[in-house]
């Protein structure tokens, strides 16, 4: 596959026109079969797809994204039968049964399961040499039609340049990857707006590796008898999150910060707050004060806020309104476009208001803390 600049095809496909034999979907599927890279929408974010069995195709993903190759990829499937070919035959019965229950509750949908991999099922570049593979079945007709038409398991990370916010529109993908990939299927803006939840299925229950479109509460409700633990990085984040009691060493430290993520070019910080209502209500004033200070230092300023607080920032250069605090699914949907808007506006200093750790708020705070490289300003 050529690494040189190539012409990136764009197919725009309306939802009512999605069929496996749509000419655009067929062409995209053929390119995937040839080892080329094609971006496509899922319900979470746009993915950058490649044949998961082909090492050269998967190497193309890492090259196009500029992604460190020790960070493994999610394999996307369209049918239950495809899962059988991907996972080990020797999974203990209890783990197999737990996976089945989660699949029955959440697939197709934004839940990725990490399971023991069947040796040889996918390129070792997909799993980064691990003995597990991450698999999900996206809940998007275009993604499912493409995977079926290709007849392949499709490795697909988010279709952004490494470190940038994930793409929620075809435009975002083109901004990052045009000239580097064979094609982009445009199915309009994604609905969830944040990546899938990633859980490892193990003998001691579930370990949450990344919060996302399926909330922790939804997982607990689906398998109430199963222990759910947080990966160490997520536990540290929870301690530093809005509403948490002050901890000795609340802010997450270096481990888990290996990859810069979701970050705008400007210096960003995020405001969190203690359990009291007074602390929560002080957030816009603190944000405005930090922004005024930065402005006095001659920096261009931007704030990530919510509809309810949009009129609290009369002197800020760029206001990104990230949905409503009353319905955090709207904030999830808007988050990555809001983060990208700071770069478009050339903003040098950014403050993001934290949101409550309720429902998808956990995933939003996870992304905000990473985007801020864990520069956290806490109000008590």
Under the rule (CB under 5 A), what is the footprint of Mg ion? 158
- Which one of Mg ion, ligand TXA, none interacts with residue 71, CB within 5 to 8 A by kind? ligand TXA
CA distance 197 to 205: 16
| Paired tokens of 179 | 């000239």
Residues 210 and 195: beta-carbon distance below 8 Å? yes
Give the range of 13-21, 77-85, 124-132, 299-307 binding ligand TXA by CB under 6 A. Answer: 124-132
CA distance 357 to 238: 9
Of these, 71, 235, 246, 293, which contacts ligand TXA (CB under 6 A)?
Answer: 71
Q: DSSP for 274-334? A: -SSHHHHHTHHHHHHHHHHHHHHTT--EEEEE-GGGGGG-TT-SEEEE-SBTTBHHHHHHH
- Which one of Mg ion, ligand TXA, none interacts with residue 305, CB within 5 to 8 A by kind? none
Q: Which is nearer to ligand TXA, 165 or 243 (CB)?
A: 165
Using CB under 6 A as the binding rule, the residues of this chain from 92 to 121 that contact ligand TXA are 110, 112, 114
Min dist CB 74 to ligand TXA, Å, is 5
Closest CA to 159 of 263, 37, 72, 26: 37
Give yes or no for residue 190 binding ligand TXA (CB under 6 A): no
Q: Which is nearer to ligand TXA, 114 or 271 (CB)?
A: 114
Please, what is the Cα angle at 283 between 279 and 286, to 5 degrees? 110
Distance of CA 264 to the CA centre of its chain: 15
Min dist CB 320 to ligand TXA, Å, is 22
Q: Which is nearer to ligand TXA, 89 or 225 (CB)?
A: 89
Give the range of 150-158, 263-271, 327-335, 361-369 binding ligand TXA by CB under 6 A. Answer: 150-158
- Which one of Mg ion, ligand TXA, none interacts with residue 75, CB within 5 to 8 A by kind? none
Q: How many residues does the chain have?
A: 380
- Three-state SS annotation for 328-367: HHHHHHHHHHHHHHHHHCCCCEEEEECCCCCCCHHHHHHH
Q: DSSP for 181-250? A: SSEEEE--S-SS-SPPEEEEEETTEEEEEE--SS-HHHHHHHSTTS-EEE-HHHHHHHHHSTTPPP-TT-
Of these, 13, 31, 74, 294, which contacts ligand TXA (CB under 6 A)?
Answer: 74
Q: Which is nearer to ligand TXA, 71 or 247 (CB)?
A: 71
Q: Which is nearer to Mg ion, 158 or 272 (CB)?
A: 158
- Which one of Mg ion, ligand TXA, none interacts with residue 112, CB within 5 to 8 A by kind? ligand TXA
Of these, 63, 178, 209, 282, which contacts ligand TXA (CB under 6 A)?
Answer: 209
Closest CA to 367 of 302, 291, 304, 312: 304
Give yes or no for residue 371 binding ligand TXA (CB under 6 A): no
Of these, 54, 158, 241, 330, which contacts ligand TXA (CB under 6 A)?
Answer: 158
Residues 283 and 252: beta-carbon distance below 8 Å? no
Min dist CB 158 to ligand TXA, Å, is 4
Give the range of 127-135, 243-251, 312-320, 328-336 binding ligand TXA by CB under 6 A. Answer: 127-135
CA distance 42 to 260: 23
* DSSP conformation class of 258: S
Of these, 28, 45, 50, 58, which contacts ligand TXA (CB under 6 A)?
Answer: 45
Give yes or no for residue 157 binding ligand TXA (CB under 6 A): yes
Residues forming contacts to ligand TXA in the complex (CB under 6 A) are: 42, 44-45, 47, 71-74, 110, 112, 114, 127, 130, 132-134, 138, 156-158, 195-196, 198, 209-210
């Amino acid at each position: 596959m050529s690494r040189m600049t190539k012409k990136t095809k764009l197919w725009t496909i309306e939802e009512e026109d999605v069929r496996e034999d749509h000419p655009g979907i067929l062409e995209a599927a053929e390119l995937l079969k040839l080892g080329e890279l094609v971006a496509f929408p899922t319900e979470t974010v746009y993915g950058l797809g490649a044949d998961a069995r082909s090492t050269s195709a998967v190497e193309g993903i890492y090259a196009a994204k500029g992604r460190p190759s020790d960070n493994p990829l999610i394999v996307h499937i369209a049918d239950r039968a495809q899962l059988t070919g991907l996972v080990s035959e020797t999974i203990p019965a209890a783990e197999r049964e737990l996976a089945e229950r989660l699949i029955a509750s959440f697939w197709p949908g934004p839940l990725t399961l990490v399971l023991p991999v069947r040796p040889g099922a996918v390129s070792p570049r997909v799993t980064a040499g691990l003995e597990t593979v991450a698999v999900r079945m996206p809940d998007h007709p275009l993604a499912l039609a493409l995977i079926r038409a290709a007849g392949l398991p499709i490795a697909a990370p988010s279709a952004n340049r490494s470190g940038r916010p994930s793409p929620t529109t075809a435009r975002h993908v083109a901004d990052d990857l045009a000239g580097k990939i064979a094609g982009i299927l445009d199915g309009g803006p994604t609905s969830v707006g944040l990546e899938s939840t990633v859980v490892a299925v193990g003998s001691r229950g579930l370990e949450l590796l990344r919060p996302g479109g399926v909330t922790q509460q939804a997982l607990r409700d689906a398998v109430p008898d199963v222990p759910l633990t947080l990966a160490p990085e997520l536990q540290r984040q929870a301690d530093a999150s809005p509403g948490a009691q002050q901890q000795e060493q609340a802010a997450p430290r270096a481990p888990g910060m290996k990859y810069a993520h979701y970050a705008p070019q400007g210096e960003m910080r995020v405001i969190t707050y203690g359990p009291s209502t007074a602390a929560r209500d002080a957030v816009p004033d603190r944000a405005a004060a930090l922004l005024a200070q930065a402005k006095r230092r001659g920096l261009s300023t931007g704030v990530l806020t919510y509809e309810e607080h949009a009129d609290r920032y009369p002197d800020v250069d760029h206001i990104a309104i990230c949905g409503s605090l009353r319905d955090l699914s709207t904030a999830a949907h808007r988050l990555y476009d809001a983060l990208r808007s700071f770069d478009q506006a050339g903003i040098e200093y950014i403050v993001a208001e934290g949101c409550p750790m309720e429902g998808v708020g956990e995933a939003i705070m996870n992304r905000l803390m990473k985007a801020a490289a864990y520069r956290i300003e806490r109000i008590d």
